[in-house]
Amino acid sequence: MWENRCKVAVSGVGFSTITRSAEIPLAAHALQAVNAAVEDSGLAMSDIDGLATYAELPATGHAIVDGISIVSVNCMMAMLKLPNLSWHVQVETVNIGGAVQQAVNALLAGVCKYAVVWRAMHNPRGTYQNLPGTYAQGAAQFTAPYGFGGRGQGMAVAYTRWLERHNQKREKMATLAVTQRKYANKNPHAYFYKTPLTREDYLNSRMVAYPFCLYDCDIPVQGAVAIVLTTAERARDLKPRPAYLAGYGQRLAFEVAGRIGSLSSYMEGGSSSARLTWERSHPRRRHGHL
């Protein structure tokens, strides 16, 4: 078990409006989410002294403009001008989970008391994957000339490997998409809140990059979500019932950029992340001895 199990809690959640594509600058969504999260916690904005995000623009080939297509920590600082700000970070790897982990660590280290973490995602109007380049630089020089333009195709080859090497069927993936949609149908903040998905819908949908069909892909939207994190002790005095953080674990695979197709690298990254999370969060297992 991790010695810091349940010593940090989520004490506020906020959602922005979500639109199919960009109508207002992304900074407005992020601000809306952060305001809502702080209001949910019962804190005053001036109590917030930590900020963290993962700002990456998921759509490739579009201009990165702070406040419009990403919302950096610096952008949020400029909007909020927090009088007690004492810690902030912006992570580049392991997605928004990395920013949450850093905020947890900062709270445990005592360098801030109330941290806000947000994820703001931009969906540009027009083509999501804008791939007009004449040249293929870096790791892409071995993939892009063959039509491996987007990230999805790199995942598709690992998926094909699983299907054909392990004698699997696409029907199994229908279960994943349909189950996730059922959860979305229970979440009023979800874009697909009122849109059901059946196995038949899934199996009859058009192919995008075999073996991925339309409903294997997530739908790009524009919006933001924020949470307030604090220590378990402080969380007791706040308005919402705290959701304690039992543990976390996230690790990339040992894989060279541009080497695509390996199923085992996905398995290795995923299983090591799951193992770390389980070891840390399980009350009766010692960390590192599972």
Partner 1 sequence: MTISDWSQVTRPIPVPNEWTKPFWEAAKQGVLALQRGRSCGHFQHPPYATCVNCISTDLTFEPIAGQGTIYSYTIMYHAGDKRFAAAIPYASIIVELDAAKGALLAGNLLDSPYTEAKVGRRVEVVFQKLNDDITLPQFRLVKD
Q: Are strands 50-54 and 114-121 parallel, antiparallel or unpaired?
A: parallel
Which residue number, 139 or 274, has a Cβ lying nearer to partner 1?
Answer: 139
Which residue number, 132 or 188, has a Cβ lying nearer to partner 1?
Answer: 132
Q: Minimum distance from CB of 282 to partner 1 (Å)?
A: 33
Which residue number, 85 or 263, has a Cβ lying nearer to partner 1?
Answer: 263
Q: Minimum distance from CB of 133 to partner 1 (Å)?
A: 5
Rounded-to-integer distance, Cα 282 and Cα 274, Å: 12
Q: Minimum distance from CB of 149 to partner 1 (Å)?
A: 4
Tokens of 1: 């078990």
Alpha carbon of 169 to those of 174, 203, 212, 218: distances in Å?
Answer: 10, 11, 12, 20
Q: Minimum distance from CB of 8 to partner 1 (Å)?
A: 36
Rounded-to-integer distance, Cα 116 and Cα 52, Å: 6
CA-nearest of 3, 2, 5 to 246 is: 5
Instruction: Output phi, psi for 118, to 5 deg.
Output: -130, 155
The crossing angle, in degrees rounded to 10, of helices 151-165 and 263-281 is 90
Which residue number, 72 or 160, has a Cβ lying nearer to partner 1?
Answer: 160
| Contact residues for partner 1, defined by CB under 8 A | 127-129, 131-150, 153, 156-158, 160-161, 164-165, 206-212, 256-262
Rounded-to-integer distance, Cα 278 and Cα 223, Å: 31
Which residue number, 79 or 214, has a Cβ lying nearer to partner 1?
Answer: 214
Q: Minimum distance from CB of 259 to partner 1 (Å)?
A: 5
